[in-house]
């Protein structure tokens, strides 16, 4: 597994790499500008690393919390004028 980890750390698209327990040995977080770039990295780089037998991929649709979570840009909220109440 050390050879796989060493090869993965050389990938430019690799953001994070973890050794994990459970069904898989390694979990990585990759960045790609589009699905074609992701496919290129997966098919022509990761799958060609000696020791990689299979992969399971998920695409992040939206981040709610974490370092990659994009917050809404700062917005100026106009004060609302109060309407006089009728009595």
Query: Per-residue confidence at 83, pLDDT binned at 50, 70, 90?
Result: low
- State the number of CA atoms in the 13 A half-sphere of 18 facing the CB: 9
Confirm whether 43 is domain-assigned. yes
Residue 75 lies inside a defined structural domain of this protein: no
Domain-embedded: residue 62? no
CATH code, domain with 42: 3.30.70.920
Global pTM value: 0.71
Give the pLDDT score at 33: 92
CA distances (Å), 1 to each of 24, 47, 67, 82, in order?
Answer: 12, 14, 27, 66
Structural domain range at position 28: 2-48
Whether 87 is in a domain gets the answer no
Contact by Cβ (8 Å): 31, 13: yes
State pLDDT tens for residues 51-82.
Answer: 999 999 998 888 888 877 766 655 555 665 65
Residue-wise pLDDT tens digits, 7-27: 999 999 999 999 999 999 999
Q: Alpha carbon 2 to chain centroid distance? A: 23
What is d(CA 1, CA 36) in angstroms, rounded to the nearest whole number?
A: 27
Number of domains in the chain: 1
Question: Comparing 28-32, 41-45, 67-71, 73-77, which segment has the lowest mean pLDDT?
Answer: 73-77
- The alpha carbon of 28 is separated from its chain's Cα centroid by a whole number of angstroms, namely 9
Residue 15 resides in a domain: yes
* Phi–psi pair at 28, nearest 5 degrees: -125, 160
């Amino acid at each position: 597994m050390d050879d796989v980890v060493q090869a993965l750390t050389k990938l430019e698209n690799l953001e994070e790499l973890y050794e994990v327990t459970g069904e898989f040995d390694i979990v990585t977080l990759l960045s790609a500008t589009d699905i074609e770039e992701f496919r290129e990295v997966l098919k022509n780089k990761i799958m060609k690393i000696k020791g990689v037998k299979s992969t399971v991929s998920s695409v992040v649709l939206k981040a709610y919390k974490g370092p990659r979570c994009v917050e809404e840009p700062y917005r100026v909220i106009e004060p609302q004028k109060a309407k006089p109440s009728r009595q």
